[in-house]
Amino acid sequence: MRATSTRTPPARAARQLVVPANRLDVLERTRILTVVNAARFVDLPPIQIYAQLLDKGVYWASISTIYRALAENKQVKERRRLARLPARAIPELVATVPGQVYTWDITKLPGPIKSKYFYAYVMIDIYSRYIVGVKVHPAESAILAAEMMTETFSIHGTPQVVHADRGTSMTSKTVAALLSDLEVTKSHSRPRVSNDNPYSEAWFKTLKFAPVFPESFGSLGDARRFKNAFVEGYNHSHRHTGIGLNTPADVHYGLAAGKAVERAATLATARPEPRALQRQL
């Protein structure tokens, strides 16, 4: 008969729980949540908050740390209103500097009553994502589109290429004649392909799912005032992930390189600790 000790495995020593070195304490987590839930940041994703503070010379936590604080408080969710749509394919439009390729489209804005709409004409520089032209009118018209283009080109210069989908105004003789006279190459979406104008579609999504976008506009004047304020904020405040977390204006006017140097200096001298938050803000 074998001894009991040969049949009974020795008791294992209890493992000591190791607390991760980067674990946030209660105070650090509270400070982060206080900032990201502040009125000016509450509708922005962490990456936007990070970039805006960095451009002001403030670095108190990495993007992953902000997400970790939100996760620990069960606040990791889309902070904007979004439609759940499949990713859009990008057409082969190439621009190496601002002013080479513009894309444009028209979208409906809800009016004061059902089936009443206002129409936003929007032209975007695909290199900088800068809104170079925007108008709101009570109707869709090729003549109004051509007028918007003429004004836009006089301010920002005439591009080499203008891309659009195959809508009535986009393929009209009026617009075609204007671009031909200016020796601008026309580019159109492929027939029956709805996702060949992703730059315009992405901007319309940003517009219509923004928390500040109203259910309807009471008048044409209301729609125009909203458009002016929104485009100003988008061009000069929105940090775009497709252009290195810069604003469209920074890229369009050649300021992005300088901002990159300033950001690098901030990161080099900052203490990457959330507990420094209150001192820096």
Is the per-residue pLDDT at 71 higher than 80? Answer: no
Q: Which two tokens stand for residue 103?
A: 């894309």
Spatial distance between the Cα atoms of 71 and 227, rounded to a whole number of angstroms: 35
Cα of first residue to Cα of last residue in the chain, in angstroms, is 75
Q: Which two tokens stand for residue 91?
A: 């057409």
Q: Which two tokens stand for residue 196?
A: 């060949």
Q: For tokens 């901002």, what's the residue?
A: 259
C-alpha dihedral sign at 231, 155, 102, 245? negative
Spatial distance between the Cα atoms of 205 and 197, rounded to a whole number of angstroms: 12
Spatial distance between the Cα atoms of 25 and 153, rounded to a whole number of angstroms: 55
More confident position, 38 or 75: 38
Domain boundaries, the chain: 26-81+255-280, 101-243
Angle between helix 46-54 and 26-36 (nearest 10): 90
Q: What is the pLDDT of residues 175-211, one digit of tens each?
A: 999 999 999 999 877 554 444 578 899 999 999 999 9
Question: In terms of pTM, does the model score above 0.85?
Answer: no
Instruction: Label each residue of 235-247 as H, E or C.
Output: HHHCCEHHHCCEC
Q: What is the pLDDT of residues 102-135, one digit of tens each?
A: 999 999 999 999 999 999 999 999 999 999 999 9
CATH number of 101-243: 3.40.190.290, 3.30.420.10, 3.40.50.2000, 3.40.50.261? 3.30.420.10
8 Å CB contact between 96 and 161 = no
Query: How much is the pLDDT for 271?
Result: 58
More confident position, 109 or 29: 109
Spatial distance between the Cα atoms of 92 and 260, rounded to a whole number of angstroms: 28
Lowest mean pLDDT among 18-27, 38-47, 140-149, 211-220: 18-27
Spatial distance between the Cα atoms of 178 and 160, rounded to a whole number of angstroms: 13
Tell me if residue 163 falls in helix, strand or coil.
strand
**Secondary-structure percent of the chain, ordered helix, strand, coil, rounded to 5:** 40, 15, 45
Spatial distance between the Cα atoms of 20 and 271, rounded to a whole number of angstroms: 19
Q: Which two tokens stand for residue 102?
A: 């513009």
